[in-house]
A and B are shown apart, each in its own frame.
Chain A
Amino acid sequence: MIVAKRKPFDEIMDMLKDYKKVLNVGCGTCVSVCLAGGEKEVHVLNSELEMARKLADNPIELGAYTVERQCDREYLAELDDKVKDYDAVVSMACGVGIQFLAERFPDKPVFPAVDTAGLAVNQAVGWYEERCRSCERCVLGWTGGICPVTMCAKGLYNGPCGGTNKGKCEISQDQPCAWYMIYERLAAQGRLDHIKKIRDPYDWVDTTPRTLIQPGYKKPEEVE
């Protein structure tokens, strides 16, 4: 899932210092599961903001509303008659949700309250580890199910590099070498020949936003 972490409180305070009536919008999907921007976190942040602004003799009126998903039009529509009552909006969704919210209400300042931190697995309650960089060129089939783009410090599609050192990465003894792990797993599975498949390097030039339309579907504006 997409994971995020709450922005430092001072940064949020600074963004909101000129606004007196603010709606804080949570997201009920990924950031809710990763305990960063769901209904509860909206109320905790509002509680902090209300107290801090009161202490600073600059009181703020805060609204709280959590939609099922901020990356879906149908859920954002619930906010249409609410946002107009506020000077600004805070979003606790991932970067995708924040942008979609800002796009729907272009005349309102929209501020992020979280930093989106990647696509991660849940290791334990509140503990997440990144596993995917959504490169759109998945090589997991040839790398023993270990992503070199995410797990290798250089994001190498072909490895290891000269910095591999007894199973560790040259950047830190705490960082395993992704390509060493890939080698070990492929060897255990008797598939070492797969490590020799050379993949073209990723073309990082002109990285424009990607659009994905699944087969059999149309762009939203083409839907009657």
Chain B
Amino acid sequence: MRLEYPTNVKIILVPCSGKVDVLHLMRAIQKGADGVYVVGCLEGTCHYNEGNYRARERVEHVRTLMEEVGLEPERVRMYNLSSGEGPTFAAYAKEMTENIKELGPNPLKDKG
């Protein structure tokens, strides 16, 4: 398809979105990422039944933690798509990038 998506998006592969832990998302922000999002399979289609639901719960939890810390929860998000939806993947990458650009850089980066 030769689709393009923003080059600032760095992909970390996991066997299932249910593998993504709260700490993985926290560390991304802590180490200076401007945003982090999880792309899981469509809800109801998880090969492991509930991996993407667990991921969604964790993303919601991290958003709460971000608020506690004083950072915008919008920097952390969850998206769902099927493995055949390349154009949707690119559209989500673009949407996330635009949302983060509106928020500006991660304020932790200025703090050394």
- Residues on A close to B: CB < 8 A? 9-10, 40, 43-44, 47-48, 50-52, 54-57, 59
Contacts and interface: CB of A to CB of B under 8 A. Distances in A.
B88 interface: no
B30 interface: yes
The interface size bin for chain B is 10 to 19
Given A51-B30, A55-B108, A40 B23 contact: yes
21 contacts: A9-B68, A9-B69, A43-B23, A44-B22, A44-B23, A47-B30, A48-B65, A48-B68, A50-B30, A51-B30, A51-B70, A52-B68, A52-B70, A54-B112, A55-B69, A55-B70, A55-B71, A55-B107, A55-B111, A56-B70, A59-B111
B29 interface: yes
Query: In the complex, which of the residues A43, A47, A52 has the most CB atoms of chain B within 10 Å of its own CB atom?
Result: A47
B2 interface: no
B111 A54 contact: yes
A48 B108 contact: no
Interface of B: 21-23, 26-27, 29-30, 65, 68-71, 107-108, 111-112
Contacts, number: 42
Closest 10 A/B residue pairs (Cβ)? A9-B68, A47-B26, A54-B111, A52-B69, A51-B69, A55-B70, A47-B30, A48-B69, A43-B23, A51-B30
A76 B29 CA distance: 33
B108 A51 contact: yes
B111 A57 contact: yes
Could you tell me the dominant secondary structure of chain A's interface residues? Answer: helix
A54 B108 contact: yes
A9 B68 CA distance: 7
Contacts of B70: 51-52, 55-56
Contacts of A9: 65, 68-69
Contacts of B112: 54
Given A44-B22, A44-B65, A57-B111, A51 B71 contact: yes
B44 to A, nearest CB: 20
A108 to B, nearest CB: 26
A39 to B, nearest CB: 10
A62 to B, nearest CB: 11
